Amino acid sequence: MHLLDSASIGPMTWSDHSPVLITISSPLARPRERLWRLNESLLTDPLVKDGLHNALRHYFAENTTPDCSPQVIWETHKAVIRGFLIQQGARRKRERGAQQESLLTRIMALEQSHKLHSDDTVYAELLDLRSQLRSLFNHKAQKAFLTTRRAFHEHGNKCGKLLANALRSHRQVLYITHLRSPQGTTVTHPRDMTRLFQDHFTSLYSLPRTQQQTTPTPTLNFLEKHLRSKLTPVMRDTLEGPISAEELHDAIKSTPTGKTPGPDGFSLKYYKSCERLISPAWLASFNGLSRPQCSLPPQTLSATVTLIPKPDKDHTLCGNFRPISLLNQDVKLFAKVLALRLTRHMRYLVHPDQTGFIQGREGRDNTTLAINLIHAARKNLANPTLLLSTDAEKAFDRVHWPFLFNTLRHMGFGPHVLQWISALYAHPTARINLNGALSPPFTIQNGTRQGCPLSPLLFALSLEPLLQAIRGDPSIHGIRVGRVDYKVAAYADDLLFFIRQPLISLPSLTGLLHDYGNLSNYKINMSKSEILNISVSPALKASIRAAFPFHWCDSSLKYLGVHLTPDPSALYATNFLPLLKVLKSDMTRWAHPHITWFGRLSVIKMNVLPRILYLLQTLPIFVPVTFFRTLQSLFIHYVWDGKRPRLRLTLLMAPRSQGGLALPHLRNYYSAVHLLRLVEWSTGLPEKRWIALEQELAGCPLASSPGCWVLLPIIASPHTRRLLLPCRSGDVCNAPHQ
């Protein structure tokens, strides 16, 4: 009884039974903080939208004065508009509830009168009011029911969130029920779990300074010695100019909708609906940050951290959750504008070894390079070779800001850009969202926020001094092919090193990683970093094991979602055959009766095809026809639920313009992947380092005879038995189809 907050008896609206309403408080429940969030349906109401535009005009006309900073004017306008929208939402809710409340009040009064006097007239009026209330409830329920049915009818069998949610297995880890403290005790109370997360992220975002970080001299010496990337004067001028209304429009247009807003509650739809009115104030506020004394208000830089569980990890530990920062939309647009500017110059500042988040580069460039280097290393087994994949601990969250800004200055960034980026990192705060409840705010003193459009580019720039130092260190020996020494391939913080002479290279590499980590907070988890043995003898392997705590892979090393093997001929069995088992299990689990065969076709396009296509792109190897036939059988069995097919396979695979249903033709996708390689061979882009490597291994220009080696026999028609292909010498040879 001590948990009982209130109890009441409601009116008899449906039958002769009265509902009893009881409110009980749980000792484990933590009340959710009431945060305002824009109701986007208000922006579709013409009256509300006109009133919103008038409120914006009056506010900016009355408050834009020289004695008030543009930043304060911009931040204050959000409070004013928030109040206006709250008022409009309350008005609409009040009007909707007025009729219902009036009916309930009259019903309760008539019920009391009927109990006292048993008047037939009162009873008839009571029945009439109950009928009106039922009609009101029925209308609301019918509207919600029709909306739900319409959503399932329109989107239930199409590629989208609704179908994806139907396939996703229920994951309790999204609601955190308990945690384990560093001392090993289990914590279940929400207040204690919030304190654990807050202590964890407070320590993560407030790392103590090392001895080398107390003065800028060691950092400047490191950058002067190793960093060679510089902006040209033309590039610098394009970055330094004031932000224009066109750039803001492009940022709004390129930002995806439907994202959760930040603490201020304003979503992207508000900026799209009122762009013409708020654009001048936004530009004045954020362009003004280029002046040294200007800064953003603390509320603007606040963020809500939502916790995403890492797959295949222990979710009772705080460190196994990925912190995603939900920033205010105006700050995200500002970061998006800077990111769009910087993207055009990243390929000139960052070496092609780094493929993560750089325009024109892909992760498949790294895997293709690695496969070719393994093939080259196996030609000289006498020279000991290994692959080292390093695991960086919280790489994005540990970036040391002074090191980042010193790197940007050394690269030639101008004062305006540096001031703009500094404004994003001037005393930001965050609050952790745990099961809907927010923690107290804490300050952030290091790291690039995951969820900010600019963060990946800043991280790539901060990592570039390390990668250039590794490439320029003569004591670190990579796999040399021709005149090029290939040492490292990077995708953001996923580093893959190609090591020869490991007893000399590994001490130099670990020493360089340690020196760089002392300056930038970059930290390698040695026990989770993996080594793949290519041609290391057992005696040398024992010596390396004794000196370095790396984990040695038995048969394959997982990098960017694919398994690299010491023998390239084992790539198919290691990657494609396990995928078949996983897909067969998934299709069995996805055989829900409410998903029609049209929906199952969408499941294949949305969920199955990307996984197959990713392997085909990242592993440019020969895939036998049996693999595609097995997949085709799986598709047919899944679409028709194990029953006899009702349509021919050719009709299912035909394009929609020809009356088909566009079921993926995997052989055509396979051919397209290799045809793309033919195009890339012909263009010879310098961003694709694997093209120069393959040309060196082939011993002739690839563009002159691209189909001579493997690709044209692979992509030939199944009915073709023999092909006439140009040989290396220019003669004609007969190539069997296999």
Q: Mention every residue, 6+ apart, whose C-beta is less than 8 A from residue 488.
A: 353, 467, 470, 471, 478, 495, 496, 497, 498
Instruction: Report residue 101's pLDDT band, with 50, 70 and 90 as the boundaries.
Output: confident
Bridge partners of residue 733, in order along the sequence: 725
Q: What are phi and psi of 9, to 5 degrees?
A: -110, 125
Q: What would the mean pLDDT of 342-371 be, rounded to a whole number?
A: 94
- Pick the residue with more confidence: 343 or 736? 343
Residue 292 confidence (pLDDT): 81
Does position 242 have pLDDT exceeding 80, yes or no? Answer: yes
Q: Across all residues in the chain, what is the average pLDDT?
A: 87
* 343 touches 327 (CB < 8 A): no
For tokens 């739809």, what's the residue? 269
Q: How far is 241 from 244, CA to CA, in rounded Å?
A: 9
Token pair of 313 as six digits: 């990890």
* Percent of the chain whose pLDDT exceeds 70: 89
Q: How far from each other are the two terminal CA atoms of the chain, in whole angstroms? A: 79
Q: Nearest-5° angle of CA 316, CA 322, CA 327?
A: 135
Residue 172 confidence (pLDDT): 47
* 676 touches 362 (CB < 8 A): no
Q: How far is 156 from 162, CA to CA, in rounded Å?
A: 6
Q: State CA 365 to chain mean position distance.
A: 20
Residue 712 confidence (pLDDT): 44
Closest by CA to 264, choosing from 174, 337, 332, is: 332
Closest by CA to 71, choosing from 231, 267, 276, 297, is: 297
Instruction: Report residue 519's pLDDT band, with 50, 70 and 90 as the boundaries.
Output: very high
DSSP string for residues in 584-611: HHHHHHT--TTS-HHHHHHHIIIIIHHH
> Collapsing DSSP states into helix, strand and coil, what is residue 125?
helix
Q: What is the pLDDT of residues 485-516, one digit of tens each?
A: 999 999 999 999 999 999 999 999 999 999 99
Does position 293 have pLDDT exceeding 90, yes or no? Answer: no
65, 237, 448, 463 from 351: Cα distances, Å:
47, 22, 21, 11
Instruction: Report residue 716's pLDDT band, with 50, 70 and 90 as the boundaries.
Output: very low
Q: What is the pLDDT of residues 582-630, one digit of tens each?
A: 999 988 888 877 778 888 888 898 889 999 999 999 999 999 999 999 9
Q: State CA 390 to chain mean position distance.
A: 21
Residue 166 confidence (pLDDT): 66
Does position 339 have pLDDT exceeding 80, yes or no? Answer: yes
What type of residue is 557?
L
Residue 143 confidence (pLDDT): 62
Q: What would the mean pLDDT of 4-26 be, rounded to a whole number?
A: 83
Residue 186 confidence (pLDDT): 93
Q: What is the pLDDT of residues 619-659, one digit of tens each?
A: 999 999 999 999 999 999 999 988 899 888 889 899 988 88
Q: How far is 383 from 76, CA to CA, in rounded Å?
A: 67
b vs e for 268-281, b when ≥16 Cβ sit within 10 Å of the residue's Cβ? bbbbebbeebbbeb
Instruction: Report residue 162's pLDDT band, with 50, 70 and 90 as the boundaries.
Output: low
Does position 563 have pLDDT exceeding 80, yes or no? Answer: yes
Residue 146 confidence (pLDDT): 59
What type of residue is 436?
G
Instruction: Report residue 724's pLDDT band, with 50, 70 and 90 as the boundaries.
Output: very low
Does position 483 have pLDDT exceeding 80, yes or no? Answer: yes
Q: What is the pLDDT of residues 464-481, one digit of tens each?
A: 999 999 999 999 999 999
Q: Which helix (H) or strand (E) holds 736?
A: strand 732-736
Residue 721 confidence (pLDDT): 35
Q: What would the mean pLDDT of 10-28 be, rounded to a whole number?
A: 80
Residue 489 confidence (pLDDT): 96
Does position 282 have pLDDT exceeding 50, yes or no? Answer: yes
* Burial degree of 538 (CB within 10 A; 0-12, 13-18, 19+): exposed
Q: How far is 736 from 713, CA to CA, in rounded Å?
A: 8
Residue 259 confidence (pLDDT): 87
Q: How far is 710 from 16, CA to CA, in rounded Å?
A: 81
Token pair of 609 as six digits: 């095809």
DSSP string for residues in 706-719: TTSSSHHHHHS-TT
Residue 336 confidence (pLDDT): 96
Q: What is the pLDDT of residues 302-329, one digit of tens each?
A: 999 999 988 888 889 999 999 999 999 9
Bridge partners of residue 726, in order along the sequence: 732
Closest by CA to 493, choosing from 408, 422, 578, 392, is: 392
231, 452, 511 from 412: Cα distances, Å:
5, 23, 28
- Pick the residue with more confidence: 723 or 266? 266
Q: How far is 505 from 475, CA to CA, in rounded Å?
A: 6
Residue 475 confidence (pLDDT): 96
Does position 246 have pLDDT exceeding 90, yes or no? Answer: yes
Q: Nearest-5° angle of CA 65, CA 284, CA 413?
A: 140
Token pair of 584 as six digits: 């067969």
Residue 156 confidence (pLDDT): 58
